[in-house]
Structure 1
Amino acid sequence: MLPHFSLVMGALLSLAVSQLVALETCQATGMPGIPGMPGLPGKDGRDGEKGVKGETGAQWRGGGGQQNGEKGEPGTMGFPGKRGQSGESGKPGAPGFEGPPGEPGEHGTVGVQQRAAFSVARGTNDFPERNSVIRFTTVITNINNDYDTGTGHFRCRVPGTYYFVFHASLEDRLCVLMKLDGKLLLPFCDLRRGKRQVTSGGLTVYLSRDQEVWLETKDYRGMRGKPSGYSIFSGFLLRPH
């Protein structure tokens, strides 16, 4: 029984092998297949090496002449240049309008005689305070108001040589100081008592413009006494400089 089965299986295997060989050696006679789906795009390749610089091309001309490119952006401002040569003077312009009148000037010195003089008085019964300026309030003459009755000062308006004089009539001691800008020029002191007396004194001095002269009392020995007269302070310009 077994030997017969082995013969049958061997015959079947030989037949199968011969059929496979025949399939591999025969040309295909079937229909072509359907094309497959497109593949995904590949990555960019690496940059190639820089090429050699080409030769300069000929200048392009269009419309019969050179054509300019587009206008560029403005550049930065340069340094100031050197000053050029002065041009020729222009012609004089037309006269302008007349200006307003100016302030009055000071008194002239040519052809006009300069004058400065004052004489002022006060009652001797009106005693000034100690160590104070003696203010003479009664004006006899006062050219250009150079003597100020409010302050008791004479202010020099015309520089030059002046003469100042002081006179007092009273019945008691007297001591008065003449000062120039606060500096002592001359003292007038008479310390007799008990009788009527007249005291006077004068001084010549050079004054510059705006210097001031005045009289002051000295301590308690100023101007004291019975009401017996007047005191007078005067000054005038001898010669202008």
Structure 2
Amino acid sequence: MMSGLPVPVLLLLPLVVVVAVAVPSPSRPPVRYCRRCCDHLDPPDSPSSPRSAGLHQAPEVRTFINMTILKGDKGDRGERGTPGKAGAEGPPGTRGPAGHKGPKGQAGTPGDPCKTQNSYFSVGRRKALHSVDYYTALVFDTVFVNPEEHFNMFKGKFYCFVPGVYFFNVNIHTWNFKETYLHLMHNDREQVILYAQPSERSIMQSQSVMLTLALNDEVWVRLYKRERENAIYSDDVDVYITFNGYLVAPST
């Protein structure tokens, strides 16, 4: 007995599965691949190669270690190595500016009075002298003071053994009606002159000078003869002619 309810009807239709297979069209041009100048020289994989079929190789993995993270603490300082050979001497440098003047130093201790340098003499002549040659050295025959024998009595010359400043003095007596012409000599050079014209009266004449002497310098008195007769007066009783000298200040 059939009721009035609808009866579902199942319609079994055949299931058709359509699989789309990509088949290249015969009229489609082949696939071209672009290549850069820096690409590998091997040709690109063709569609029929395993790579194009999905069989790709695994990417290469390279391990990179950051050394800055693994850097340890600073080690101890090593022993000092053997010094190398000295290099060639360089050229001298330019002279630097002058420094500031320093403060005045303290006074030194007093010197030894026994080491004080002295040099002095005083000699005279008792005989008169007439100059017969152009140049005549005045020689003395009487010693007043000559402790170190710096004055040579045979040559009539003082020799400097202590360099420094010296004072010299010469005194003479002129002769009546005769010319008196003398030079005080330093080595071979005239320093000062002592001159008196011929006169009826004889007079005393004097000349003095200070000279700076070096070691072995000579100081002496020389008569200079011109057209007139050159002479100095003296006698055996009194001394009219004297020559004196002494050290004022030694050289530093």
Q: How high is the TM-score relative to the length of structure 1?
A: 0.51
Question: Displacement, 1:236?
Answer: 0.5
CA distance in 1, matches of 2:221, 2:192: 10
Matched, 1:223 2:227: no
156, 178, 181: which is aligned to 2:184?
A: 178
Question: For each residue in 1:144-190, what CA deviation from the matched residue of structure 2 results, as whole angstroms up to 9, or x when unmatched?
Answer: 10000111110000000000000012333311111111011111111
Deviation at 1:134, TM superposition (A): 0.7
- For residue 226 of structure 1, report the CA deviation from its aligned partner: 6.9
TM-superposed CA distance for 1:194, in Å, is 1.1
Give the residue type in structure 2 aligned to 1:222.
Answer: N
Q: Distance in 2 between matches of 1:226 and 1:161?
A: 31
2:218 equivalent to 1:212: yes
Alignment identity in percent?
21
Partner secondary structure for residue 179 of structure 1: strand
Contact 1:115 1:143 in 2 (8 A): no
- Which of the residues 122, 126, 147 maps onto 1:123? 126
Note the residue ranges of structure 2 that are not aligned, 5 or more in a row.
Answer: 1-110
Q: CA RMSD in A?
A: 2.4
| 1:203 equivalent in structure 2 | 209
- Equivalence map 1:9-28=2 (5 Å): none
Match of 1:114 among 113, 117, 128: 117
* Bigger share in helix: 1
* SS state at 1:175 partner: strand
Correspondence 1:233 to 2:240: no
Task: Output the TM-score relative to the length of structure 2.
Answer: 0.49
The SS at the match of 1:132 is strand
Q: Is the 8 A contact 2:165 2:212 kept in 1?
A: yes
| Contact persistence 1:124–1:224 (CA under 8 A) | no
| Runs (5+) with no aligned partner, structure 1 | 1-107
Structure 1 counterpart of 2:16: none
In structure 2, what residue type is equivalent to 1:223?
A
Within 2, Cα distance between the matches of 1:210 and 1:127?
29
How far apart in 1 are the matches of 2:213 and 2:152?
17
Structure 2 letter corresponding to 1:169: H
CA distance in 1, matches of 2:128, 2:212: 33
Distance 1:109 1:175 in 2: 45
Q: Structure 2 CA distance, aligned partners of 1:193 and 1:125?
A: 17
Quote how far apart the aligned CAs of 1:127 are. 3.5
Change (3 A) 1:109 1:166: farther
Deviations 1:177-228 (A, max 9, x none): 1111101111111114111311001000100010011111001553344748
